[in-house]
Amino acid sequence: MIRVFYVRRMDQSDMDDVRSDGGDGSARLTMPVGVSQMHASKSKLINDNVHGHYEIPAYVVECMDTEHFQRLRDISQLGTASYVFLGATHKRFAHSIGTSHLAREMMAHLYRHQLGFRQIDNEREFQEYSRLVQIAALCHDLGHGPFSHLFDNEFLTRRGVADVPQLHHEARSLMILHDMIDSYNLDFDREDRAIIGNMIDNPAETLGRPRFLFEIVANKSSGLDVDKFDYLARDCQTLGLKYGFDHQRLIGCSAVIDERICYGQKEIYSIYDMFNTRFKLHKLVYNHRASKAIEYMITDILLHADAHLKISESITDPSSFMNFTDSIIRVIEMSKEASLGASRQLIRRLRNRDLYRFVDEVLVPANTADVSEVDISTSQDSNSRLQPDDLIVFNMRANFGMRQKNPVDHVHFFQNWDSKSSFQVDRAKVSYLLPTQFEEKTIRLYSKKSDPDSVDAAKRAFRRFIRSNRIGSLFPSPEISSAGALKRHRVESANGSTP
């Protein structure tokens, strides 16, 4: 949760370290340097349940107070996870503000900790770069569609959309950003736009600016960036989970050496913990089997509605795309349009908790070829009548963020604050207890039909395929009892209980 308060800006002499402690030091508010007094009356004080109290400068507020950014209030950060995890209700809105705040903090810290040759050596230049980094962080998720990654990974993929520049949310974020700047006549020239755009979607191209600036928001070389710092901390807190790293310590132990963001060598364990936290969230939360079943149902709802609502066509037009948020489900549900009937039927199933059924899954080596619905349906026995369209195969990958590579191999470290050079650390020199593999794959099967006979037939076909191809070790799974499964099906359909 984020609460926003308008505040009057303090004098520049008070900016570097503002403390409010009532005389006893019990509460402390520290504000990084870098807010212009010319916007004194328009800054905002944020009360963030993840990062505490902090101030948002006026040039960030100007972007926040637009319909383009406010739309993120209606885009779930974790997609369909709230159907399973009660606390997973936070939005892209809060994450984007938190990411901008961390970008400001990290930029201020790195400006003070440029070891060796200083890439930025005057306050005015720092202020301008800090402004651009904060805006990039704030706007990096403007292009997300309904239910966040569901829109790109499932809806557009299954709709067959391809060869469109705006296929991925990063490119759409730039499209929305440019429209926002034009619509509100915001103070960003062509050069500013190019720099912000590359900070979001093309950090390999630095446009002649210091390279480390393009590693703060979206670090493509290692994955260590403020976007990840915020969403891991925010997701874990709202889910009620403990996470094994301190993003504030990582920021405080960072420095710039040879144009790269580097970290103190003692932080290597925290960095491994961070990537392990990412892995666990993907495996246990983001791809939870019930949440994923609901994700597939909502995908089908959107696919059935696409011919009438032109959802997939909207991705190249900012004004059209901005109409689509999570609320599209309610819009379809309340509509009387006959062509939306199939979508409404699926919404009714969703409301009654008559979900697509998880059938079975198998853990396989990461390099195993993907399995398709046709593979499973052609493995059914003679007594079954499965169709590929009745099934959904999820080829799930969970990793440290770089597929089968170790992202820590791409992180640069320094020995102490007097260092003038950086180095990389071989995993074997850190600990023998660290992982040797960095990605796992699970093949999971769902049935769109929830009746016990269909689920049982799908399970038999799945296990037959796995055994005949010898591609993994099946989890122990008792045979489905038709009577017991039918009773469970009826009870859940009536009561809407969570699987």
**325-345 confidence digits (pLDDT tens):** 999 999 999 999 999 999 999
Residues 258 and 386 in one domain: no
Residue 319 lies in a domain: no
Residues 17 and 137 in one domain: yes
Confidence at residue 5, expressed as pLDDT on a 0 to 100 scale = 57
Token pair for 105: 């903090």
More confident residue, 7 or 482: 7
Confidence at residue 487, expressed as pLDDT on a 0 to 100 scale = 45
Residues 102 and 216 in one domain: yes
The rounded percent of the chain whose pLDDT value lies above 70 is: 87
Confidence at residue 245, expressed as pLDDT on a 0 to 100 scale = 83
Residues 89 and 220 in one domain: yes
Last-in-domain residue among 240, 268, 288:
288
Residues 233 and 149 in one domain: yes
pTM for the model: 0.86
Residue 308 lies in a domain: no
Strand pairing category for 260-264 and 357-364: unpaired
Expressed as residue numbers, the domain containing 31 is 2-288
Confidence at residue 416, expressed as pLDDT on a 0 to 100 scale = 94
Residue 330 lies in a domain: no
**Catalytic member of 169, 247, 288, 412:** 169
Residue 324 lies in a domain: no
Residues 253 and 369 in one domain: no
Is 90 exceeded by the pLDDT of residue 4? no
Is 90 exceeded by the pLDDT of residue 475? no
pLDDT band at residue 6 under the 50/70/90 scheme: low
Q: What is the mean pLDDT of residues 178-193?
A: 97
pLDDT band at residue 24 under the 50/70/90 scheme: very low
pLDDT band at residue 431 under the 50/70/90 scheme: confident
Residues 29 and 166 in one domain: yes
Residue 115 lies in a domain: yes
**277-309 confidence digits (pLDDT tens):** 999 999 999 999 999 999 999 999 999 999 999
Residues 249 and 395 in one domain: no
Residue 447 sits in a domain whose CATH number is 3.30.70.2760
Last-in-domain residue among 269, 288, 307:
288
Residue 347 lies in a domain: no
**129-141 confidence digits (pLDDT tens):** 999 999 999 999 9
Residues 389 and 283 in one domain: no
Residue 194 lies in a domain: yes
**380-430 confidence digits (pLDDT tens):** 988 889 999 999 999 999 999 999 999 999 999 999 999 999 999 988 888
Confidence at residue 424, expressed as pLDDT on a 0 to 100 scale = 94
Residues 126 and 249 in one domain: yes
Residue 314 lies in a domain: no
Average pLDDT, the chain: 88
169 is catalytic: yes
Is 90 exceeded by the pLDDT of residue 18? no
Residues 57 and 164 in one domain: yes
Residues near 167 by Cβ (< 8 Å), separated by ≥ 6? 152, 156, 161, 315
Is 90 exceeded by the pLDDT of residue 25? no
Residue 50 sits in a domain whose CATH number is 1.10.3210.10
Last-in-domain residue among 288, 320, 340:
288
Confidence at residue 203, expressed as pLDDT on a 0 to 100 scale = 73
Q: What is the mean pLDDT of residues 442-465?
A: 96
**61-114 confidence digits (pLDDT tens):** 999 999 999 999 999 999 999 999 999 999 999 999 999 999 999 999 999 999
Confidence at residue 86, expressed as pLDDT on a 0 to 100 scale = 94
Residues 360 and 223 in one domain: no
For the chain, the domain total comes to: 2
Is 50 exceeded by the pLDDT of residue 348? yes
